Amino acid sequence: MQVVRMKAERRTALGRNRVAQLRQQGWLPAVVYGDGKEPVSISISEWELEQHVKAHHRVFQLDIAGQAQAALLQEVTWENTSDHPVHVDFKRIDLNKPIETEVEVALAGHPVGLGKGGTLMKDHMKVVIRCLPTAIPDSIEHDISKLEIDGYLTAGELKLPQGLTLVSAPTMPICHVAKLVVQEVAPAAPAADAAPAADAKADGKDAKAGDKPAEKK
């Protein structure tokens, strides 16, 4: 994976109002942590980050006040209503030491089981791998065109690029083709007609009302 440079500034504005002012100016609050050191609050360009995310860049050389720091893009928090980033987490790394990270699995092909009444179920579309930061792939592609009904693709079956080691359990299911079961729903029983019962009750009342009183002796 390409190592890209990004300029960052140390951030002293930690209050909500100060952070809001940063965002209005096009800056985004972020933090760099890990490697047994104290977290450092920084600010980066929101526009620049969005371009890197679109390009699937994850390994950075941050320029923080003139000091270089290799970091992995760990997490981006997005605003629900506008899809704008609101905060970013970077993790310190050494470009010459392997790290563990998640990589998405990209499925290719049309499973043969889909033509036999099956449906594709995606179980775990990310796997944890271990490799050098510069060797992290954008994704791991696997052809599932031969997958039959009740057939599974597991993590251990993925063909990893050279230099990658699987950390996830080899038996972890990535996806499978399940048989589509159509259940017939029995028609609902017609509601009992309450009218006759009501009429009978009314007739009973009328009968009682029409009874003659007993004669006194």
Q: Which tens digits make up the pLDDT trace of 2-14?
A: 899 999 999 876 6
| Domains observed in the chain | 3-93 (2.40.240.10), 100-179 (2.170.120.20)
Tell the burial category of 10 from Cβ atoms under 10 Å away from its Cβ (0-12, 13-18, 19+).
Answer: exposed
pTM given for the model: 0.73
- Could you report the per-residue pLDDT of 175-201, keeping only the tens digit for each? 999 998 766 666 766 665 555 555 555
Give every residue of the chain whose pLDDT is below 70, as ranges.
13-17, 19, 182-186, 188-217
pLDDT of residue 217: 46
Instruction: Write the DSSP assignment of 40-86 as a string of letters.
Output: EEEEEEHHHHHHHHHTT--EEEEEETTEEEEEEEEEEEE-TTT--EE
d(CA 94, CA 92): 7
